[in-house]
A and B are shown apart, each in its own frame.
Chain A
Amino acid sequence: MTPSQPASRAYFEDVQTGVPLETPAMTLTETHAALFASLTTARPGEAGAIPDLLPLCLSSGLGWRVPQPPLVVLAFMGFEWRFLKPTRVGDTIRSVSKTVAKRSMKEGGVVVEERSILNQHGEVVQSGRLTLLVAKRPAA
């Protein structure tokens, strides 16, 4: 372990399936939409629209704000995602996730996470499954 790696990290062995985890919430603002649009050069939407991919991007950061130690993710392998309802400036989103499958590999392990993004009314606006390659606990 290098000095830059915090001591409290969760490894493949620590991952429990079926345990739901809810993040804090975050209000979507004009600033989020403008920063995202300037970064991606995506086509501007109508006034007040939030780009479709932005809530998904924000949900990965929300996942770092739970009390549990962060998972040592070696690589994001892929995902399948559905966009169920548009979000708008002023909506407040949070993410609820759980591990639905884990598979040990030679180097690390594969973790499949089911994630839903909810708005302030409790409606699921986006949801899907993400596949992550997670580190195994280093030998002591």
Chain B
Amino acid sequence: MSAYPAVYFEDIPVGEEYASPGRTVTEADVVIFAGLSGDYNVLHTDAEHMKASQFGERIAHGLLGLSIQQGLLDRVVTAQVTGPLAAVKWKFKGPIKIGDTIHVEARVTAKRDGEQPGWGVVTVARRVVNQRGEVVQEGETDHLVGRRPA
């Protein structure tokens, strides 16, 4: 049960745009994500090895950036707009380094019928942008959104 009025597939306008607050990605975020996911790749965990790499230091897991942006966007959109995920197409365009501050810019780009009656699919294009205005990740997410009951 929600304190907010229900939003249905029919209510979501194509073209609506959202911008999330920023979040600084910390060493703690990277360490916790390595522990949770079990992905201890040297890219994320070995500061000495990474000194000699093209990045010069440890970088956040790409999937950590993806997960954080999901949480950031959740803070500014109505729950239903980014409901259960049906599909993701995603590009990791640049590193997120420890101390970088990222935010998400998103836009509803399409709506279509779902495979099951009673559901629609909303496509949201997203860009993850760092403090220098560089797009570090971008892609599209498809979400299942309930239709207004007849």
Residues of chain A at the chain B interface (Cβ within 8 Å) = 2, 4-5, 32, 35-36, 39-43, 52-53, 56-58, 60-65, 70, 73-83, 86, 128
Interface set, chain B 65-80, CB cutoff 8 A to A: 66-68, 70-72, 74-75, 79
Check if B42 sits within 8 Å of A4, measured CB to CB.
Answer: yes
Total number of B residues with any Cβ neighbor in A under 8 Å: 40
User: How many A-B contacts are there with CB distance less than 8 Å?
Assistant: 111
Q: In angstroms, how far is the closest chain B Cβ from the Cβ of A129?
A: 10
CB <8 Å contact, A4 and B48: yes
Known contacts A40-B71, A43-B74, A77-B92, A52 near B36 by CB under 8 Å: no
Given contacts A5-B49, A80-B88, A81-B87, contact A61 B39 (CB under 8 A): yes
Q: How far is the CA of A75 from the CA of B95 in the complex (A)?
A: 9
In the A-B complex, the 10 residue pairs with the closest CB atoms: A61-B38, A40-B71, A41-B71, A78-B91, A52-B85, A76-B62, A42-B71, A43-B74, A4-B49, A61-B37
Closest A residue to B54 by CB, please name it.
Answer: A74
> Which residue of chain B is the closest to A4 with respect to CB atoms?
B49
Knowing A56-B63, A57-B63, the reply to whether A83 touches B85 (Cβ < 8 A) is yes
